[in-house]
Amino acid sequence: MTPVRPPGADASSSLVEPLFARSHEGDPSSPDQIGPALYAALDLGTNSCRMLIAQPKGSQFLVMDSFSKTVQLGAGLEASGRLSRASMARTIQALRICGKKIERHGVTRMRLVATEACRRARNARDFIRQVRRETGLALEIIGPEEEARLAVISCAPLVKPETEQLLVVDIGGGSTELVWIDLSAVPPDDRAKAIMRLHMGFSAQGEGPVARVVDWISVKLGVATLKDQFADVEDDAARFALMSWFFEENLASFSPYHAQAKREGFQIIGTSGTVTTVAASFLGLRRYDRAKVDGLQMTSTQIDTVIRDYLQLGPEGRRTDPRIGRDRHTLIMSGAAILQALMRIWPTDRLSVADRGLREGLLYAQMSADGVLEDGPYL
């Protein structure tokens, strides 16, 4: 039986879209799979360490095992510019578990990446060497463009045929990536396929109709770093308002910031623990159900209602709310502030909720490069 996770704790709990499938997840008694080589994708972010182990199957992949742990690697980074000893120790402990899973499954192909916290920390290279020495895992620090690109391709199955202008938003712990894509020149039935080809790069053309990346930005504010910026503001509602407006100010260099998006043909896809938590709260889920969350369409009014409910609960109410989860309650308002800013800038009827992200993108890119996925509806 697939274990239930709290909202936002693991962005891949029960993959049901045609691109992804799942089997034996988290079951230590399951025998190692005999068949095609297994692949691993690990995402070490500012707040969480997450990993998927999967096997290619047709045009999909089958998830064999997963791991998710809140490690708070970026705790204190805003003030010191360095990863603390305590945060590194927590993270290495989690990475040891990942290493054991990789070894047990006999994984032969993997990408183990670190993002914003390690991009910013002055001692990140020392930390990477320590990880290699103590766990045997070779982490690589990827740039913000690759992080954004991998998040985009993981969301391709959620792109509607009628979408002509697409905004994909990935709200992370230390940064938020936004990618604006023009699909107007792509036939409706080919739009998801065109998005998938972006795994080769935002400027890659390839054959067939092209998804044109109008602009992308990596804002160095995520749920953890934005919270830290306003930790000294005592009033809950005032802190939320300040975070939302501050995030918007940091979007000024994003060229579509001034765009007047038409409601018709415009789609926003949000991928992050924040977005899935807001969706779970809207649905009233006391136990998270990915099948109900991934692909959900939420109106701006519904999102605002959930956020107002969070504000009325206050810090203590959010801490004990089972819809939010114990690993998310201190970060949900900074994430909600980012989400509200986006819905304010580009007024739209709906947000598409994506319970998928960097790990799925890493798996797809590896398998696509190796040619082990059959041609399918999203390739």
Report, as an integer, the average pLDDT of 357-378.
81
Give the CA radius of gyration of the chain.
20
Token pair for 71: 């490690």
Q: H or E segment at 132?
A: helix 124-135
pLDDT at 34 over 80: no
d(CA 186, CA 20): 24
**What's the pLDDT at 4?**
31
Name which residue leads in pLDDT, 25 or 264: 264
Higher pLDDT, residue 247 or 349? 247
Strand partners, 165: 182, 266
What residue segments make up the domains of the chain, in order of their start? 20-143, 146-354
Q: Mean pLDDT, the chain, as a whole number?
A: 86
Residue pair 95/136 in contact (Cβ under 8 Å)? The answer is: no
Check residue 207 and give its pLDDT. Answer: 63
* 201 has a pLDDT exceeding 70: yes
Count CB neighbours of 144 within 10 A: 18
Residues with Cβ within 8 Å of 185's Cβ and at least 6 positions away in sequence, in order, are: 209, 210, 212
Q: Which two tokens stand for residue 352?
A: 């598409």
* Contact present, 195 and 368 (Cβ < 8 Å): no
Q: How many CA atoms lie within 13 A of 212 on its CB side?
A: 8
The two tokens of residue 75 are 């705790």
Least confident residue range of 10-19, 188-197, 231-240: 10-19
Of 111, 48, 137, the closest CA to residue 359 belongs to 111
Q: Do domains 20-143 and 146-354 have the same CATH topology?
A: yes
Mean pLDDT of the 86-90 span: 97
Residues 6+ apart with CB under 8 A from 350: 267, 268, 297, 298, 299, 300
From first CA to last CA, the distance across the chain in angstroms is 30
With cut-offs at 50, 70 and 90, classify the pLDDT of residue 64.
very high
Could you please state the CATH topology (level 3) that the domain comprising 20-143 is classified under. Nucleotidyltransferase; domain 5 (3.30.420)
- CA 124 – CA 294 distance, rounded (Å): 34
Give me the percent of the chain exceeding a pLDDT of 90.
Answer: 66
Extended strands (E) in the chain = 20-22, 39-44, 48-57, 60-70, 109-114, 140-141, 165-171, 176-182, 212-219, 266-271, 297-299, 350-354
pLDDT band of residue 14 (cuts 50, 70, 90) is: very low
219 forms beta bridges with 176
CB atoms within 10 A of CB 186: 22
At 203 the pLDDT is 75
Distance of CA 369 to the CA centre of its chain: 22
Q: DSSP label at 318?
A: H
Q: Specify the DSSP element, H or E, that contains 98.
A: helix 85-105
- For 328-360, the DSSP string reads TTTTHHHHHHHHHHHHHHS--SEEEEE---HHH
Find all residues with CB under 8 Å of 58, minimum gap 6, and list them: 373, 374, 376
3-state secondary structure of 51: strand
Q: What is the CATH number of domain 146-354?
A: 3.30.420.150
Euclidean distance between CA atoms 140 and 110, whole angstroms: 11
Q: With H, G, I as helix, E, B as strand and everything else as coil, classify residue 252.
A: coil
State pTM to two decimals: 0.84
Phi, psi of 169 (to 5 degrees): -125, 125
* pLDDT tops 80 at residue 143: yes
Q: Which residue shows structure tokens 């290493």?
A: 99
